[in-house]
Each structure stands twice: as structure tokens, then as C-alpha cells.
With several copies, the nearest count.
Chain A
Amino acid sequence: MPRTPITISENIEYLSILDEEGRLDAELEPDISGEMLLRLYRAMLLGRRFDERLLDLQRQGRIGTFPPIKGQEASQLGAVAHLRPGDWLVPSFRETAAEVWRGRSLSSVIIGNNGFSEGAVIPLDHNDLPVSVPVGSQVLHAVGLGWAARYRRKDDIAMTFFGDGATSEGDFHEGMNFAGVFQAPVVFVCQNNQWAISTSFAGQTHSATIAQKAVAYGMPGIRVDGNDILAVYAAAGEAVDRARAGGGPTLIECLTYRVMMHTTADDPKRYRTDAEVEIWRQRDPLPRFGKYLLDKGVASGEEQNDLEAEVLQEIQDAVDHAEKQMRTMGNPLDMFNHVYAELPPHLAAQREELARELAEAGKEVQS
């Protein structure tokens, strides 16, 4: 057969379980305990309300620029829900809900968004990397972490998040390829929110889906409705289990939408229509999941309202706590900390310079 189609042996699928009308495909419904369902719902709600509160704070000048996550809670939580503490979350910069699920405190987020290095601290009981701003670059770290875990004969895995825009970066490609070659235990989660600042998905790649990019690396790929937490949960569960069992990496594309601006410095009206946003507001993952819990008898309307109040209180406490903490932070001399394990002589001298300058300016700092 001299001119023959090459068979693509990778399995590339689309998965949807709870659709936007709230219709459930009962056959595919993942088996999630009531307790876990509640935890997930609470985390989605917390992610949502915290995001809204951050936007308020930003508009009031009480925090700096930040990237809202609204609408992407299901994509994040359905995936990280499978991680154990020893696993590694390797986030980009738009996974606040996932980070909080993993134990990052709300107050540390506020502190970080106020320009304090202290905000980046990772809870000691979780193996996660801090936020990574250079798009796509963190994907490679996940490969190294996954490789290292396997080398140490641990069945811990790494899960890394990135956006649709990130798939254009060379680092995404190199990371996928390395993971394939080394069969590293890594789950690649692309939150395809269809925009990279002002660049639409169509302007980002000529490929019809992100999922099919897995073909290039001999890796399974799946596209899921990213606003359907059940679908995300199911797909991520398979991928995590496969990775943990030594079956290698998976690419998951969560098809979702960035309902808000890119960051608070961005004005999306310049490049997209309200009508498009409106369509996606209707596909909101939160009420969809709420209705499911209601139907399933896991959380009544009242219980959901109580959760709402609880979550708002938690956020208020975090804001208060952060603002109190920040009053004691900010010694400029701390900027020399952790640059090296030990301060080299020339930096000790520069630190001294700054200490002198501050002293002369009458600023009191412990040096």
C-alpha cells in the first residue's frame, strides 16, 4: 500500500457528563462521596466569592493587579481534587482556587497581591510550586518533579496547569515531549479559557482542539467540558491513576471561558463582544453543580446558603488577617533574603549600604 493513511494510535476524546442544562449522563457519572461533593462545592464557592472580593479590593486600591479566575473553578478543582498531599501542583498564575484547595491561605494570596514576597509561601504540608508568571515555563518543572518522584520510587505525581496561550510556547512542547519520552507521571491540564489576553483561541493555533496536540507526543489526550466539574473530575481521575500506576502522562483540555478581564489592568471590551461573554455566563459551572447537588440531595438550597455565609465570613477574616499582618511586614532589608542560601560578601555589603541609607533617612528597621 504505497499511499496509506497513518493511523493515529493515540486516544483523543471529548467528555461531557453534566451538560449546561444540568442534564446528567448517569452512565458516566463518577462515583464521588457526598463529603467530597460538598468539599468541592464549597471550594468552588470559596473560589468564586474570593475572586469577587479580590476584584473589589483591587478597585479600592487595597491590592495590586491580579488575574481573576471566575468561571474556571470547575476546571481547577475537578482536577486537583485527585491530588494527595505528596503530589505536586505546578500552577501558572490563574489557579487560585486550586492553590487554596491545596492549603494556600487566602491571606497569603492577598499578601502576595500586595507585592510582598511573603505571600508566595507554600504550606509545609504540600509539595507545590509557587505561582509562575512566565507563560508555559512551569510545565517543564512538573516533568522534572514527576521524574524525580519516580526516581525516588514514590508514586507521587505532578499536575501542571496552563492556559490555551501557553500551548504556543516552546516550553509547552518541550515539556510534553520530555514527559512522553520519559513516561513521566505528569498530568497536563490546559485551561482553555479561549482567550490569551486579546488573542482568541483561533488566533492562537490552527489546531481544532488542544487535546489533539497530544498526538504529537504519543500521549493520550482528552477534551472535557471544563465547566462540568463531573467531567473534569472523571477525566483527571483517569489521568492521575494512569500516571500513578506508571502509565505515563496525559493531556487534559478543559474547555472553559475567562468570563472576566485578563487581569485587572485589562479591558476586554477592546477585543471581544459582550454577547460572547453572555453565552458563557450562562454556562457557569457553579449553579450547574449546585443544582446537581440539590437534585442528588447532597445539599439543599438552605445548606448552600449557609455555605455561602460561611465562605464570606472566611474571606472577611482572611482580609482582616492579611491587612493586620502586612502592617508588620515590609522591612526593605528582607529583600536580600533567600537570594542565595548564604549571603555572599558583596551582597552583605550592599545590604549594609541599604541599612545605612535607611538609618540616615531616619527609617527604623532591624538590620
Chain B
Amino acid sequence: MTKMTMVQALNLALRQEMAKDDGVIVLGEDVGRDGGVFRVTDGLIDQFGEQRVVDTPLAESAIVGMSIGMAAYGLKPVCEIQFSGFSYQNFHQIENHAARLRWRSQGRYPMSLVLRAPYGGGVRALEHHSESREAYWAHTPGLKMVIPSGPRNARALLVSAIRDPDPVIFYEAKALYRAFREEVPDEEETLPLGRPQLVREGKDVTMISYGAMMRPVMEAAEVLRERQGVEAEVIDLLTISPLDEEILVRSVKKTGRAVVVHEAPRSFGPGAEIVSRLMEKAFFFLQAPIERVTGFDIVIPPFAREKSYIPGLERIVAAAGRTLNY
């Protein structure tokens, strides 16, 4: 066990999987010599060489398109898109091909491909560097969409994503990269994709979130207990899609109330799907409308105003209060 930041934990995941499986290839802009602009791939090129840690020219569609070819060949490309705000340059390669090639070839070609990209706000970045648009991928059949919430699960999920036979979009919250350290076991650890985790038990209200928002959500749960004696149950989705609602439904059947929290814009966002699943599967148990605490339906503003955009502790606490007092 070592205490690690999320950057270090992700680096460990890559390092161990690369050592274990020579089919794993890391590629992207500045992932080699530079070690990635956030240093997630730091040092990999020294250990594995330029053949396995590939600095590419500046072209996202090509990075993904080339990865698709590699995956069809049977390799396991882990490509980095420098910021998720530039993953739309390769949207068509993902939608038209990565998400379909296994299916189109009737199972002939595997598509074990991971697209890593930093997402989300809170790091005083330039325009296009703070978006949270996981819903685009979550709505795309054939993909898996994963977002870890801390060093330990980031490492375990990345290992699982690399081993997964299907294409995985793996978003990493920039705000978490160096925010805190966690014990991460040296030995191998995986986490199954498609399984949300109950991370705090409670009986009064269910809070559902993922990624960077897990921190204010957990804080809010604590504050609710301290301030009002409210016991919030908290679920970390980890995998956004395919969304397994079972544990969510179970929790809401118990609490009767739910708050969904994400940075992404509200309308047509991830929260809407969660609301819908809960309404479909736990209709009679709901005591109040489910609250969505989300980014607004506008472009996330440049950093002078981003704090007011991103859901924070008080916004979450207030929403929980509303469901409780409904």
C-alpha cells in the first residue's frame, strides 16, 4: 500500500497492465517524452519505449481511428485525448466505428479500446478545458462510460477498462488528479465495470453521483448529519453506462427520496436517466420529486465564475433539504 494521488494511481494501473500484457499500447498527444500534460503517463516511455508509448501528431480523429485499427488487430490501445473538450474532434470515429465494429463484424473483431480524457472544471483552465459531457457517450450504444472518484477506484477501474473487451470512455476528473491521496495496494486490483457502489449508508435520502462531485456529495452527507441529523445514503455510480440501476432502486425504496448530482448541464443530462430509472422501478416508494443538482444549461463559464456553475456543498445540502421537506 502506498498513498497516492489519482495521477499516480492511474500511472500505476497503466504501468502494471503494460508490464503484464504487451498488447497494451499507450498513445496520444504528449503522452511520451512529456508524460502527458497531467503526467498520467509519466515515465512510461522510459520503461516501455517508443513502440508502446506513442507520441502522435495533433489529430484526435486519427488517434482514435488508429486505435480502432489497433484494436481490430487484437491490441489493446489506451489512447489519451488531452481534454474531453477535444474529444468531439473524434466523435465520429467513436460513434461510427469504435462503438460498432464488433457488432458490424458480427463478433469477428474485438474492440478493446480505452479512451482516457480529463473532464470537468475547478482547475482554473481555459475555455474547452472544463466540460462535463459524459451524457454524449452514455447515450451511444456499444460504449461503456466510466468515471472514477478517487485514486484507488481510478486505478482499479482503469485496469478493468483495459481488460474489457468493449470500448470504454474513461473520464478523469481534473479536479481530483492531485486533490488528495489514498492508499492504493501495490498488488493488482480491479473493479467490475457496470456496478455502482454504496459508499455511505443512510435511511433518509439517497444521494447519487460520480466523479469529482463525490467529494461535495460526501461532505454534504456529513453536513446533513451534523446540522440536521439526516442520514443520507450515498451511491457512487463509477460506471455511468451501461447503467445498472439495481442498487439505486434498492436504496430509494428504502429512503423514498433522492438527489442526483453532476457537473454536466442539467437538460438531457445523466441525471435525467437516473430519475427515469427510479421513477420506472421505484415509483410507489418516492415521497418527493427527485432533485437534480447539476451544472446549468449553459457553456461552463471561464474560471472567474465557474465556482457558481459547479454544484457545491451548499447547493447539494439545500436540494436534500427540499426533498426532505417536500
B47 within 8 A of A: no
Among B95-103, B175-183, B200-208, B254-262, the stretch that binds chain A is B95-103
When distances are taken between beta carbons in the complex, the residues of chain B under 8 Å from A137 are 65, 92-93, 96-97
Q: Could you jot down 28 A-B contacts, CB within 8 Å?
A: A64-B303, A115-B306, A116-B305, A122-B108, A133-B96, A141-B68, A143-B65, A144-B66, A144-B70, A148-B70, A158-B69, A170-B89, A171-B93, A174-B65, A177-B59, A181-B57, A197-B34, A198-B32, A199-B58, A265-B37, A270-B34, A337-B106, A338-B102, A338-B103, A338-B107, A346-B245, A346-B297, A347-B296
A169's partner among B59, B242, B309 (CB-CB below 8 A) is: B59
Contact B67 A144 (CB under 8 A): yes
A346's partner among B77, B101, B242 (CB-CB below 8 A) is: B242
B62's partner among A90, A120, A178, A335 (CB-CB below 8 A) is: A178
B102's partner among A132, A166, A341 (CB-CB below 8 A) is: A341
Give CA–CA (A285, B244) in the complex, Å.
Answer: 57
Give CA–CA (A147, B51) in the complex, Å.
Answer: 10
Contact A170 B33 (CB under 8 A): no
What's the tally of chain B residues with a CB closer than 8 Å to chain A?
84
Contacts A134-B85, A197-B29 given; indicate if A345 touches B242 (C-beta within 8 A): yes
A174's partner among B37, B62, B194, B242 (CB-CB below 8 A) is: B62
Contact string, B32-60, partner A, CB cutoff 8 A, digits 1/0? Answer: 11110100000000000001001111111
Question: Which chain B residues (80-113) contact chain A, with CB distance < 8 Å?
Answer: 85-86, 89, 92-93, 96-97, 101-110
Contacts A144-B66, A145-B69, A335-B309 given; indicate if A347 touches B297 (C-beta within 8 A): yes
Chain B nearest CB from A242 CB (Å) reads 20
A130 within 8 A of B: yes
Contacts A149-B73, A174-B59, A204-B58 given; indicate if A140 touches B34 (C-beta within 8 A): no
When distances are taken between beta carbons in the complex, the residues of chain B under 8 Å from A135 are 58, 86
Number of A-B residue pairs at CB separation under 8 A:
251
B127 within 8 A of A: yes
Contact B105 A120 (CB under 8 A): yes
Give CA–CA (A285, B59) in the complex, Å.
Answer: 30
Contact B33 A198 (CB under 8 A): yes
Contact string, A103-128, partner B, CB cutoff 8 A, digits 1/0? Answer: 00000000010111110111010000
Contact A130 B104 (CB under 8 A): yes
Residues of A within 8 A of B (CB): 64-65, 90, 93, 112, 114-118, 120-122, 124, 129-130, 132-137, 139-149, 151-152, 158, 165-166, 168-171, 174-175, 177-178, 181-182, 196-199, 203-205, 265-266, 270-271, 329-330, 332, 334-341, 344-347, 350-351, 354, 357-358, 360-361
Chain B nearest CB from A123 CB (Å) reads 10
Q: Which residue of A lies closest to B75 (CB)?
A: A148
Contacts A197-B37, A341-B102, A357-B318 given; indicate if A175 touches B242 (C-beta within 8 A): no
